[in-house]
Amino acid sequence: MWGSDRGSKSEGGQKIAFTSDIRFGASRSDQYAVLGRELLALRPEVILAHSTPIAVMLHRDNPAIPIVFVSVSDPVGSGLVASLAQPGGNATGVLQYEASITGKWLAMLKEISPRLTHATFMANPKTMPFDFFLRAAETSGASLAIEVVASRVESATEIKRGIEACAQMTNCGLLLPPDSTTVLHRDLIIAPANQHRVPAAYPFRIFAMSGGLMSYSTDQVDLFRQAASYVDRILRGDKASDLPVQAPTKYETVLNLKTAKAIGLDAPPSLLVRADDVIE
């Protein structure tokens, strides 16, 4: 999703009406460039860019209009900012996750499935910073005696193949970093994972609400609140280059006990007590 605001300012104590233009890509990467050009042609005062591929595309094609990004995890590696503390260009925003979050997901897998020795790391490298999260997962996995196996997927067929490969391994779990491709195909992931009794840790609550075992995620509403504060500051005169990239501040755990029971797992009390939502 992309949004732009025009004329949303307060001058001399008077409020000025603003205009917002929205484009929704629906995870169809073939539409990103077309929709992006439409927004840039409007010459907005600021653009709110949702997700890494969209933010990168807009940043590449637009050296002047300020961009506030959200749901981006590696803005330095993606070329959006020079550093988190000093962005230095026309883009800043709010991190979706720091790389260390992979350790939390792996620890949850080990907690609910103590015999776990392998974890399939599944995502599309074209729609998310694959290596950024994979390196952190491999480091965290080593400390938990879990071997992390990379599964690069771009289609439903590759997703199915990756889950089946995990199911054929002894004591394997599924680890999904944030990725629009896997969100789009979540039903094609959740059903076979549960069918093969593969424990899985997901990056968004929508997976657990759709039948996935469990999720640990940033509070998406709060991320957009943080981003909105930066949009407001830029419209009031602040420069994106002077606004440090913010880290997420709120997280939530969702545990699907119905799924846990169906795949033969008992949720430990330590995990239950930390859950913000429990599906029974």
Residues 225 and 260 in one domain: no
Residues 49 and 156 in one domain: no
Q: Which residues contact 185 (CB under 8 A, 6 or more apart)?
A: 156, 159
Residues 43 and 162 in one domain: no
Domain range for 258 is 101-218+251-279
Reading the chain (280 residues) residue by residue, the pLDDT tens digits are 455 555 445 555 555 556 777 777 666 667 677 787 888 888 889 999 988 888 998 998 888 899 999 989 999 999 999 999 999 999 999 999 999 999 999 999 999 999 999 999 999 999 899 999 999 999 999 999 999 999 999 999 999 999 999 999 989 999 999 998 999 999 999 999 999 999 999 999 999 999 999 999 999 999 999 999 999 999 999 999 999 999 999 999 999 999 999 999 999 999 999 999 999 9
Residues 43 and 181 in one domain: no
Residues 69 and 87 in one domain: yes
Q: How far is CA 175 from CA 121, 214, 245, 264, 268, in A?
A: 5, 11, 26, 18, 19
Residues 177 and 273 in one domain: yes
Residues 52 and 187 in one domain: no
Specify whether the CB–CB gap between 277 and 252 falls below 8 A: yes
Residues 22 and 125 in one domain: no
Residues 274 and 176 in one domain: yes
Residues 184 and 268 in one domain: yes
Name the β-bridge partners of 123. Answer: 152
What pLDDT does 8 receive? 45
pTM summary value: 0.86
Residues 153 and 275 in one domain: yes
What pLDDT does 120 receive? 98
Number of domains in the chain: 2
Residues 109 and 85 in one domain: no
Which residues of the chain form beta strands (DSSP E)? 2-6, 10-11, 14-15, 19-23, 46-50, 67-72, 91-95, 118-123, 147-152, 172-175, 200-202, 214-218, 251-256, 277-279
Beginning with the edge strand found earlier in the chain, give each strand of the sheet holding 251-256 in spatial order: 147-152, 118-123, 172-175, 200-202, 214-218, 251-256, 277-279
Task: Provide the CATH number for the domain around residue 259.
Answer: 3.40.50.2300
